[in-house]
Structure 1
């Protein structure tokens, strides 16, 4: 059993240390259960977590004392005492969220239930780490100066779409900024609060499991379609990491389309046709968008019923669905979550799902859902690393 997740320490330890770890583990279990499942009474928590009612009563008393929980109006039951529902009160605790995108930086304030309290976006002044560091310092100051009164900031949590080694907080590679082996401790502002950094799509997976469409699910895959493409796999409730923290690189999955050559030397790679920029450029080439038009504008044209715009979107969604068939057959997940701005169009999800079902032996039985985070997904996902850590041991933060 992994000691980090179990709440126990291995080896010869005094009974008091083990007892303290067990207490912290019980507190974390109660807090996370209320985050995922919503309001529950003490008796319901005891049943779900296989804890005694006395243990739950002690845990709840601590969480009420620090202000993490509130009590609702008593519910009448047919027999016994009324049940008082407990719910999280996330309003007083938040995380500074930072996402380093391909074209802009997002800085936000996200509460521990995943609600975005504030978000600011800044275009890059330069791509050197020192340039980005200065931009981040400015962005964080802007967000902090407009922070909601009474909200305590637990720490800073950041993400990037490239290859990240979270153990050393290093960007191994991020092509849009030309970064290679860049230590993030030199880029993120140091405010004397906890700082966490990881890969964007893993953050999406954490966020979806805590407060998204995969809430409480133990086995699923997240697919990200944005200016970068990516995937993250969750098995037995744990987000998986590859070599040096590598995530799921899906840019070179084959689509079967004879499109432009990829930088890798092949044709038909998913990254050539399915990124936001690839879709936007093709919309310009077909005369659907004016030069310099945005993907958001294209989605608006699709929503207005333009047949050419809809055809383009469905073509690219089908390409993504076709490539995903390989993953579905290999990984056989219970659930596939598609996320990113382009996936918010109903036409996209329908075309993606239909193609996946057609090409995959397992596609027809895999649950496919669209993320509900929309265009705020990078900000919510970036905050998820520290929020997840908070719910693993709330008392250490309190």
Structure 2
């Protein structure tokens, strides 16, 4: 599809190579993809216009949008900051006023699943080899991906039944496509990986070898908290929930890690010793957005929140199905094929999430046959 732009008084036509997809995902589990827009680069200004157009339409249709979840791309972060004074969303805990009606509020959230993948990617690039971009450090100890490789090899070579039986070569040596899979990132940062790393540390001879893994153990203790919370199907019903306290402890650990490194290291070492700046910023946005949403739902709406629903996996699944319909999952469809096949994707999914209390009845294929009359006896 050709997009028409006005650039310094000149009208230009460009082929659309991006699409903005919007899905309504209710707190109760109801979900429906209701709008998509073609564009040339998904600029923050384009996202701003289309997003508020969709929010206004949802209000007209009787829905009440209370939060907006997106991944941590640079354009999405720029769009998010447009809604806050001094471009600092943390001043209002990720709560912004409605663009047209200031009495309405909107909570912005960075996708937790995308954040966990970015945390894994930062560790994946940490090491002492030539191609490694950083060397994560915590309290005089390093956090290197080679430690994951060593633990994996020790587990496979030592035990007939591996301690972490889900860990595979795809987890340890992911390619570009596998780096996008949530499952692979979760299983390298969860409690199973933490248990494996503790068992591997016990197998090392000498205090020096065991001390070298102390930073990795602490890192996995808090990364596993993130994975456990955002994959939990149990609803959060009050702010005193133990899981919220654990989430706060994990967030504060990441913040204290950043403060210690910033106080002790130079600017050149600071970049390589920490997670990427974008990842740390997304962590702030995600935590404060999640806390504001849970507080609003419990105290104002008087309803519970299921943490496993607070992500943008639905949109990722739609994109994967769209790619698979034409020329395999590694190719991108044109917008013409995207908009004509969206109905096939919708009918292939369930209208109500199986995680909701309304059941998991899937959408049945459309039938043009005349229903048979029931016999009366």
Report the TM-score when normalising by structure 1. 0.26
* Structure having the larger proportion of residues in strand: 1
* Structure ranking higher in helix proportion: 2
Q: TM (normalized to structure 2)?
A: 0.28
